């Protein structure tokens, strides 16, 4: 059995963060473990509070999982401050954990900011050099590359800039771009690969970034070739998005178990 770890924040609404990650792991038949970095008070409409855990306790959770269960692949999500990022990077280096998928969560879908500004510098310098792949959306790519990202050419330039920070691969996600098609761009320092699909008429998209990164993490345990893992993860994401769940007053969550059932009791 493959074991995967998510190091991320908790979503009290159950649609994003570690809740989305663990659902994705289970749906893709890998055993999921977690290290909680922060507790959020949020629902489908907004975030009303964020409480970060002490960095040393975040690291202690990772250590507990590694020393007993083991980790075949891991992902990071919301890392709210530099202390947490530094602690996570240190424990990854110490145990030589990988492959690492970095989902650079900075802003919630509702627009609420989830990380301290100083965390961006630490993310660039401490965590990205350890990553097998980093998966920013357009807003996150804009921040990491320190340049505006609005079209495909911008995505290519941002991918090159982010690649220079040290990850093996960069996946810039184009879901926030306008148009009838959605293109994600994967870059390895020499070649661009494109994943394109028709835009879904989906309103329940809460946790889609977390789910995508978690699916890539799960797929990497079976398919170590990153382009293939991304393609398989994207197929799963689109299926879960197409059957998004109407719950709450805002953007509802994905249907993580769409391959097992579609109707809810």
Q: What is the pLDDT of residues 76-129, one digit of tens each?
A: 999 989 999 999 999 999 999 999 999 998 866 655 666 778 889 999 999 999
d(CA 219, CA 228): 9
Per-residue pLDDT at 116: 75
Per-residue pLDDT at 230: 98
Which residue's structure tokens are 């350890």? 130
d(CA 2, CA 72): 6
- CATH for 3-242 is 3.40.1190.20
d(CA 104, CA 121): 12
Per-residue pLDDT at 114: 67
Per-residue pLDDT at 54: 98
Highest-confidence range of 90-94, 145-149, 196-200, by mean pLDDT? Answer: 90-94
Residue-by-residue DSSP string for 64-101: HHHHHT--SEEEE----SHHHHHHHHHHHHHHT---EE
Q: Quickly count helices (H) and strands (E) in the chain.
A: 8, 9
Per-residue pLDDT at 167: 98
- The domain segmentation of the chain, as residue ranges, is 3-242
pLDDT above 70 as % of the chain: 97
In terms of Cα–Cα distance, which of 97, 104, 123, 125 is closest to 33?
A: 97
pLDDT above 90 as % of the chain: 87
Whether residue 9 is predicted with pLDDT greater than 80 in this model: the reply is: yes
Per-residue pLDDT at 112: 61
Average the pLDDT over 223-241 and give the result: 95
**Pair of tokens at residue 174:** 């184009």
| Bridge partner residues of 219 (DSSP) | none
Average the pLDDT over 177-192 and give the result: 93
CA distances to 8, 88, 115, 127, 232 from 206, in Å: 16, 25, 18, 25, 20
Backbone angles phi, psi at 103, to 5 degrees: -100, 105
């Amino acid at each position: 059995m493959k074991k995967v770890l998510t190091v991320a924040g908790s979503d009290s609404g159950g649609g994003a963060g570690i809740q989305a990650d663990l659902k994705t792991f289970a749906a893709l038949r890998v055993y999921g473990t977690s290290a909680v970095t922060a507790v959020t008070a949020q629902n489908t409409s907004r975030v009303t509070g964020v409480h970060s855990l002490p960095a040393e306790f975040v690291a202690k959770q990772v250590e507990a999982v590694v020393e007993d269960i083991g980790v075949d692949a891991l992902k990071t999500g919301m890392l709210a401050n530099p202390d947490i990022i530094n602690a996570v990077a240190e424990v990854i280096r110490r145990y030589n954990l990988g492959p690492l998928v970095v989902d650079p969560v900075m802003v919630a879908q509702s627009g609420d900011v989830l990380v301290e500004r100083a965390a961006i510098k630490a993310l660039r310098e401490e965590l990205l050099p350890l990553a097998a792949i980093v998966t920013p959306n357009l807003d996150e790519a804009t921040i990491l590359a320190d340049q505006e990202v609005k079209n495909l050419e911008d995505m290519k330039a941002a991918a090159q800039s982010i690649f220079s920070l040290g990850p093996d691969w960069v996946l810039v996600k184009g879901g926030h771009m306008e148009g009838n098609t959605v293109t994600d761009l994967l870059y390895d320092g020499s070649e661009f690969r494109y994943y394109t699909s028709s835009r879904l008429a989906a309103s329940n998209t809460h946790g889609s970034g977390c789910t995508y990164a978690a699916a890539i993490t799960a797929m990497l345990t079976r398919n170590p070739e990153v382009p293939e893992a991304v393609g398989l993860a994207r197929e799963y994401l689109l299926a879960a998005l197409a059957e998004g769940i109407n719950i709450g007053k805002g953007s509802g969550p994905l249907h993580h178990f769409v391959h097992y059932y579609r109707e809810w009791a």
